[in-house]
Chain A
Amino acid sequence: MRLIRASSIALGSVLLLASCREAKVESYRVPKEAIPPSPLDLASGMSGSDMASTPVPTASGAGLTWTAPSNWAAQPGTPMRKAGYKIAAANGTAELTVTAFPGDVGGDLANVNRWRNQLQLPPLSAGELPASIQTVATGAMEFKLTEINGGAQSTLSAWVMHDGSSWFFKLTGDTSVVAAEKPAFLAFLQTIKAE
């Protein structure tokens, strides 16, 4: 009997202690704290004019390294971008953004259609998708590449899955600049490797 009682008390105490850990709604008063700026102010300052091209925060974990051509001007980092480059030419400008985030972000069709939407182009159907994507194999990895011509503006985008995250290398800008920079972009892809 003594044993049963001791065992029950031991088990009961464990359950009671465990229940003490449950956090509850509570209230308290603290000395005044400054509220940081509003999210929309921050968001608009976060990625310049092209918030839509950097839709999610960066993934953490093992990263990638690369070497950018010398005529691409590195932009200051932002919380949502791994890197950014500005390309200024006589006939216009373009911008390359490097973003990474966990998972596949809805898959290739959703991503391609998101970029098409940014160029005011109608979405592709699942059947039309394969024709719009090429594969670029570098020594280290295999990228998917799509080229979207929206008239005055174009996008050249390459992406790869690395360590559970999708990495996007997206060149967007005036069509003539994007076309002129395509060889440099493909050479740039060759330099990308795991950290």
Chain B
Amino acid sequence: MSEYRKAFVDFFTSLKLTVVLLALSIVLVFWATIAQVKLGVWGVQEQFFQTFFVLQKIPGTEIPVPVFPGGYFIGGLLLINLIATHIHHFKFTWGKSGIQLTHLGLIILLLGELFTGLWQEDYSLRLDEGQTKNYSESFRDQELAIIDTTSPDYDDVVVIPDNVLAKRGEVQHPALPFRVVIREFFPNATPQTRGQAPNDVIPPVTMGFGKDFTVVPLPLTYRQDQANLSAAVVELIGPQGSLGTWLLSAHPFVRPQSFEYDGRTFALSLRHTRNYKPFSLTLLELRHDVYPGTEIPKNFSSRVRLTTPDGHEDREVLIYMNNPLRYAGLTFYQYQMDSANGYSVLQVVRNPSWLLPYISCVLMMLGLSIQFGISLFRFIAKRRAAA
């Protein structure tokens, strides 16, 4: 083994590295806990844990610089450190089987956290009483939907996600008879009457809602009780030239904006990213029970009908606290409710790796029991021998 390779292996299999990483992770968790006051859960996850580095802007500029290793960096190195040590030193003995099982549990726990970060989908499904929906909506991600509404039976939809809108530039899609040029994009902005805005930063808009309204860009919010509502200015350009420029906003009061082109009817809508399902849910009844004589909530529940187009499923389900609906790999939890306005919000979660933390805990528990058991039996045997 060459000197370099030895140094490399020594580094990744070193116990010192483990201790340093654990110390760094303590600092990271402490810092993130303090930062959560301002940033909220989403912000902290994004800026501290689901990132390789914690970035901070140089004061007075917009230039971000890494100031501390992030969750992916520390967790990734810990994982490599753990696996590398096992590969390098692994030698199965019964005496160490407990420790090895515990470490396997730890590896699975770290992998589970990584897979959850990468694969978990978390959406919301808001239903008014009597309403049927076959899609859920992202809590944070937004998209520009260009909907061909010409057919009386169906809508053809082209969606451009907000990460593409943020790059501005052009989008050309075979299903569209025009190019979409993104002139401006604001990740958080609020609509305002045109002419009343203190500093109107929006390029001229020729069509729809933007003729009378503009938007005021706002700083991104990470608070859980606030939403970032994006806005964009897009120009559509066909073979004969520009069709016009539209201002779009994801604010709930801004509805899809329709226009005609080439004998077809289209609608433009900036909305929370939709995730369509092969089944529908209808909200039949919502209940908000309180303890008698008080305003203290006792129960929130939504009675929904689950149906599939092929008629295989048609059943009623009662969703309430700790009793979610599990269907098609998704879990529907009771999330929010407004009985006065007659709507209920379900949280829709898909987490393919949800079992891993349980498997990991069982393995670690088994490993520790075996290890303590072995030590205990050795100790008893020694005492017997001494006696």
Contacts and interface: CB of A to CB of B under 8 A. Distances in A.
Interface size class of A (residues with CB under 8 A): 35 or more
Given A23-B163, A27-B156, A52 B208 contact: no
Contact of B216 (A3, A4, A26, A56): A56
A69 to B, nearest CB: 26
Interface in A1-49: 1-4, 6-7, 10-11, 14, 17-18, 20-33, 35-40, 42-43, 46
- In order of increasing CB-CB distance, the 9 nearest A-B pairs are A106-B198, A110-B198, A23-B161, A39-B209, A27-B158, A36-B255, A55-B192, A27-B175, A56-B190
Contact of A6 (B84, B118, B152, B160): B84
A4 B119 CA distance: 27
Interface stretch (B5-13, B22-30, B289-297): B5-13
Contacts of A27: 156-159, 173, 175
B155 A26 contact: no
A78 to B, nearest CB: 9
A43 B212 contact: yes
A80 interface: yes
Interface in B300-328: none
A50 to B, nearest CB: 10
Contacts of B219: 103
Contacts, number: 154
A35 B256 contact: yes
Contacts of A79: 252-253
A151 interface: no
Interface of A: 1-4, 6-7, 10-11, 14, 17-18, 20-33, 35-40, 42-43, 46, 51-52, 55-57, 60-61, 79-80, 101-103, 105-107, 110-111, 114, 117
A6 to B, nearest CB: 6
A42 B254 CA distance: 8
B310 to A, nearest CB: 14
A20 B253 contact: no
Given A4-B8, A57-B251, A20 B118 contact: yes
User: Which of B79, B115, B162 is the most central at the interface, judged by chain A CB atoms within 10 Å of its CB?
Assistant: B79
Contact of B225 (A36, A40, A61, A80): A61
Contact of B80 (A10, A31, A33, A57): A10
A23 B154 contact: no
11 contacts: A11-B76, A23-B273, A25-B171, A27-B157, A29-B154, A32-B154, A35-B267, A36-B255, A43-B209, A52-B193, A79-B252
B133 to A, nearest CB: 10
A61 B87 contact: no
B12 A3 contact: yes
B257 interface: yes
Interface in B209-226: 209, 212-213, 216, 218-219, 221, 223, 225-226
B199 interface: yes
A39 B255 contact: yes
Nearest to A101: B190
A139 B18 CA distance: 56
Contact of A25 (B72, B151, B160, B198): B160
Interface in B321-376: none
Contacts of A55: 192-193, 196-197
Given A21-B118, A26-B159, A40-B209, A31 B192 contact: no
